[in-house]
Amino acid sequence: MNAILQFLSDPLPFLVWTTLAKSAGLLGVVLVMVSYTVYAERRVSSLMQDRLGPNRTGFPTSLLGFGIKDWSPFLGGLGQPIADALKLLLKEDFTPAYVNKFYYWIAPGLGIGAAIISLAVIPFGSSIAGVDMVIANVDIGPLFVFAISSLGVYGIVLAGWSSNSKYPFLGAVRSTNQLISYELALGLSIVPLILIIGKLNLVEIVSYQVQNGWMLLPGITAKAPHLPTLEQFLTWIPVFIAFLVFTISMFAETNRLPFDLPEAETELVSGYHTEYSSLKFALFFLGEYTAMITGSALIVTLFLGGWHFPGIPDGSAAGWLGVMWGLVNIGVFLAKVVAFLIFFIFIRWTLPRFRYDQLMKLGWIWFFEIALVNIFITALIVTYVH
């Protein structure tokens, strides 16, 4: 027993098992979040449209003898994600005869794989018992996320092309087009942040924000919240522009309305996954919502102080106190991500879809230029402030 413990606390095995544990934990949390985001999407959209949404498939509390109603107009339906997952698992997995089988089969995996892998560099908490709450503490954080999440488009493109059918093909073409118009603005829009912070490591970006105030709300630091100073206000201006461009580009990147042209139901049946059914469709669905979570997590990490909340210390304290605060930090991070997901949902059910040329114009003529000019403004301001 002691030998095993000794082995597990050696540096290399320790790194391996903590990383595996963190990966498994994060994956579990994210998958649960995905299924409940779908539920939230359905409920929130229906409440916004004066409907009620799924409110019947509750957990059978009355069978267990609690004497509570299994459904209620507002809180019922919490069992809906489980029922949905079962339905998707049990449906017939139909592969049309005319598809290119190899690419047709790997496309859903590529879609969800890219979304999940990019979660690896996101710091989702401070530290618990000295272990950093990030799976891969690498010095190329945002670049890694952009590189991997652009691979996600291969899932869509291969799905559309291998389906050998016109609507998926159009969806795939649109997706490629949309991606190259927004990837540029997405990447350029965070250059001002990197100019200000001077680091590319997401863990260090968060600790910079803990020390010097959140990028978007510069008054909130680890010390008492205060009104931003003149220097902070000046640097806040390009950060705010970057935030707007980044968030809107993220909507396009994750194929959410108002930029969901790759799967525009009213125009393309259901876009690139028209020919998919059962679990393969579920994987696309999962990938789409995981990408949403990754996007929100990145925005929270870059602009909203990551796991930090004023008044809550990080997990560096000794013993169980440190573990508790570490868990609270993870909770704060997830709460911020959830808030952003709900914002995504609000936007989706408010705005109509952009026309195709409007989307291109927005990406190439507006965001690309704004992001470029913003870099120069930031450079000037940073020079002035220093």
Partner 1 sequence: MAYKVPRPNLTFAEKIYLPSVLAGLKITLGHLWRMLRGKTHVCMQYPEEKWDSHLPDHYRGAPTLVSDEFGRTRCVACQLCEFICPPRAIRITPGEIPTDDTFAKVEKYPEQFQIDMIRCIYCGLCEEVCPEQAIFLKKEYAIARTSRAEMMHNKAKLIEMGGLQPGVVNKWNEKK
137-145, 159-167, 190-198, 348-356 -> range binding partner 1 (CB under 8 A): 348-356
Min CB(171)–partner 1 separation in Å: 25
Strand stretches in the chain, DSSP E: 127-128, 131-132
Among 347, 372, 375, 377, binds partner 1 (CB under 8 A): 347
CB 305 within 8 A of CB 220: yes
Phi, psi of 225 (to 5 degrees): -60, 140
Between 173 and 347, name the residue whose CB sits nearer to partner 1. Answer: 347
Distances (CA, A) of 302 to 21, 209, 234, 351: 25, 9, 18, 26
Q: Does 269 bind partner 1 (CB under 8 A)?
A: no
CB 210 within 8 A of CB 314: yes
Q: Does 51 bind partner 1 (CB under 8 A)?
A: yes
Among 3, 50, 64, 386, binds partner 1 (CB under 8 A): 50
Min CB(154)–partner 1 separation in Å: 31
Q: Does 327 bind partner 1 (CB under 8 A)?
A: no
Distances (CA, A) of 56 to 117, 283, 296: 35, 25, 30
The candidate with the shortest Cα–Cα distance to 331, out of 101, 184, 128, 169, is 128
Q: Does 86 bind partner 1 (CB under 8 A)?
A: no
Among 11, 65, 67, 73, binds partner 1 (CB under 8 A): 73
Among 350, 369, 380, 385, binds partner 1 (CB under 8 A): 350
Pattern 2-41, binding to partner 1, x per CB under 8 A? Answer: ----------------------------------------
Reading the block at residue 59, the tokens are 């957990």
H helix or E strand, kind and range, residue 204? helix 202-212
Contact positions vs partner 1 (CB under 8 A): 44, 47-52, 73-74, 346-347, 349-351
